[in-house]
Structure 1
Amino acid sequence: MAITSSLDSFALLSGLHANPEKTNIYMAGIRDNIKQEILTVTGYTEGLFPFRYLGVPLNVGKLNKTMFADLIAKVQKVLNHWSTYKLSYAGKVSLINSVIFGLEQFWCSTLLIPKGVLKLITKFCRRFLWDSEESHRKLIMKSWDSCCAPYTEGGFNIKEILARNKCIICKWIWGITQHSDSIWTNWNYAYNIKSGDFWTLQKKNTHSESWMSILLGCIQLSLLYDKFRRKGNPISWGATVWHRAVLPKHSVFLMLDMQQKLATIDKLNHRGISLVNRCVLCKADNETHKHLFFQCIFSAAIWHQVLHWLRMQHRTSKLSKEVHWIAGKKVRKHWKAQWFSSCLGATVYSLWEERNIRIFQGLEHDVDYVVKRIKYFVRIRLLSVNSPSKEGEIIGSLNA
């Protein structure tokens, strides 16, 4: 009768009446005779675990991979749809960071997702980023862990899903420790924490999956995402590569160039992909990273014109060292420093683009055409990121 009175009180206060045909009741640790009595009084049918609430799977035991089939299917569907479009690496990184992680945001904020599910989502994202099936993994020159590193450590700043999941769970810990005024916090203090200390609370088999996740987080986690992710070695040239004066798609290729992660023919041969090793730009030597971007006659001619446009002196024999040394300097806010960063990214991208055009399309452009294209990229980018008051100075210097 107490149950009936509670339901009547709820209906009286809220004006809402539970529909027995659409409502299930879930019970655990109750004797069969009492369970049957409750079902008779309420008129509800008994629900079985696992079930979904607001799309999130709930279970009295441990959640398994099959319970996240909807999330996996949704992520896979979105990635397969995007794969039909011609997107740059920078565009793919942006989509992964925004849309894909937005899909699992609600799930991550509720409970710790099994590692098997997170690894599967990560595999889909890696395959989408590099346009590579499992049989073509030799074409992937940069590991996913290094892609997830921040810009200052040579990565693409893709957020690790597991680290994000743990970081979001921490907000529940924060709510508990700050005694936030919520029904959820008050309920946990009444039934789980009671008079004990949250930080020394022991896990029990009777705890729910979400509460076990929070206690696990309390033991293993720190306060910020930066504490959860894998750490890498800082790089001195990250500010140059990811400067706002560099087009995003240029930044990605410049980062791969600085780390020698582009799929040049010598690297593909080393990984067991047999190709005739010949530089398509000069047709005079084998294609290696150092030769393609700095020692090739065609590349050197382009660098000569670009550096002359930048009003910089250089010696072709030491061009590689000079470019890497300049890229390692701290970038200032003056637009002339932006000029260098933008030229560096546009030149590397244009050389790689010209190389691929010659291989896959059979077309060839001369040095002047490539240099004009580089200058076009740089002019448009510098004028878009600087204030209109500097427009006259920038145009005058670039055209000089």
Structure 2
Amino acid sequence: MDVLTRIFRGLKQAPQFSFHPKCVQIELTHLFSCYSGLVPNPSKTNVYFAGVRSDVKALILRDIGYVEDHFPFKYLGVPLHSSRLTRDLLQPLLARIRAKMGHLESLHLTYAGKVTLLNSVIFGIEAFWCASLLLPKGIIKELEAQCRKFLWGTTGNRRFIFFSWEKVCRARKHGGLGIREVLSWNKALLLHMFWKLCHKPTSIWMQWSCHYIFKKSSCWDLNSEVCLSPIWTKILRNRDEFIQLMGSREAAKCCFQQWVTRPKFPVLEAYSVFRGEQLEPKWMRPILDSIVIPRHALTATLAAQNGLATVDKLCSSGMVLVNRCVLCCRAAEDAQHLFFACPFSQHLMQQILA
């Protein structure tokens, strides 16, 4: 970068000297290859300017032979912008997830199958974007709304839901369904960028950031209120939130020292920090056994937390007018009666345990 800056500064200060465009382009390509180990493709390489006079811009474009382009643009499918990302720039992510969910909804899957697909296919699409930028809260709410509709049913096939999304996003050992919460997962992946600075900044972007942004100061000392680019402001604010959750800067540094020694960033551990510690209910231990069928484990999880659509809840929602157990027709149906007090359920349990 210093060599390129000196070349462009010399062109600006002494325009009377004429350089052959082809020679300047070859020299710049050689310098770029020496610093990065990459070779630019002229047909796919564009130049972006900021704060440059039009005459200097024309001189640079004439000598390097590349085409000028403007923000925003896409890199590996992710939109890049010099300012805050707008909703319009993130529409491809929403459209891709809607298309994927529309295809999966026609498969008539069970709840357990939908949970598996949400954690593998859908969040695989989100993770690619979440690892590069912090999504706006409006986009995150819309993503969670799409996931809720896919899990519990669409508006055309409405189902009454008695299990909050906050409980759904808990880990299975904490009484949830194990679906990752988008905001905490996004923050954990964004913390990976900060981990790279503390680990070994091998990429060009990381080396440039250490030299021009952090300079000689530590990456823990730079104030997040300093006027930086939107992505760096979010990275530093994400670091400050991690410090607050850990209790102190020293505790955060100690945690990072353990993570830096690992070859890969522990995303799940960072995700658990942003989600917060939760109590592990004892009734989940038998449900988590490997011999339990996933569909049965999910039903048992909902039943233990009174999340099933029993007749008493359907009556309170106005869907059913008469509250009567469909098995014995003797008493009102709720979760306690359906699984433990109903004579038919008791007889069936005795036959299973016999």
Q: Give the TM-score category using the shorter length.
A: 0.7 to 0.9
1:131 aligns with 2:153: yes
Contact 2:24 2:63 in 1 (8 A): no
SS at match of 1:198: coil
Correspondence list, 1:277-292, <5 A = 277-292=323-338
3-state SS of paired residue (1:64) = coil
Structure 1 residues 255-270: aligned runs within 5 Å: 255-270=301-316
The yes-or-no answer on 1:8 pairing with 2:26 is yes
Say whether 1:147 aligns with 2:171: no
Query: Shift of the alpha carbon at 1:230?
Result: 4.8
Provide the rounded CA distance (Å) in 2 between the counterparts of 1:294 and 1:77: 43
Q: Equivalents in 1 of 2:51, 2:156: separation in Å? A: 47
Q: State the aligned residue count.
A: 306
Unaligned runs of 5+ in 1: 310-400
Pairwise CA distance, 1:133: 2.4
| Structure 2: runs of 5+ lacking an equivalent | 9-20, 244-254, 256-269
Counterpart of 1:236 in structure 2 is: 282
d(CA) in 2 for partners of 1:292, 1:101? 35
Deviation, 1:71, is 1.0
Residue type matched to 1:172 in 2?
M
Could you give the per-residue CA deviations for residues 246-304 of structure 1, whole angstroms, max 9, x where no partner exists?
10010000111111110011111112334332222112222222222222221121012
Alignment-derived partner of residue 376 in structure 1 = none
Q: Which amino acid aligns with 2:300?
A: L
Percent identity for Structure 1 against Structure 2: 37
Q: Paired residue for 1:60?
A: 82
Task: Go from structure 1 to structure 2 and tell me whether the alpha carbon gap of 1:84 and 1:146 turns closer, same or farther (over 3 Å shift).
Answer: same
CA-CA distance at 1:173 after TM superposition: 1.1
Give the RMSD, CA atoms, in angstroms: 2.4
Distance of 1:205 and 1:38 partners within structure 2: 31
Relative distance call for 1:304 and 1:66 in structure 2 (3 A) is: same
Counterpart amino acid of residue 199 in structure 1: W
Asked if 1 retains the 8 angstrom alpha-carbon contact of 2:24 and 2:64, the reply is: no
Distance change (3 Å), C-alpha of 1:196 and 1:134: farther
CA contact (8 A) 1:145 1:230 kept: no
With structure 1 as the length reference, what TM-score do the two structures score? 0.70
Give the SS at the match of 2:220. helix
Q: Which amino acid aligns with 2:301?
A: M
Shift, 1:59, TM fit: 0.8
2:61 equivalent among 39, 51, 60:
39
Matches within 5 A, 1:146-295: 146-203=167-224, 207-221=228-242, 224-295=270-341
One-letter amino acid matched to 2:42: N
**8 Å Cα contact 1:265-1:275 kept in structure 2:** no
Structure 2 distance, partners of 1:161, 1:203, is 23
Amino acid at match of 2:318: G
CA distance in 1, matches of 2:226, 2:38: 38
Distance in 1 of aligned mates of 2:24 and 2:129: 31
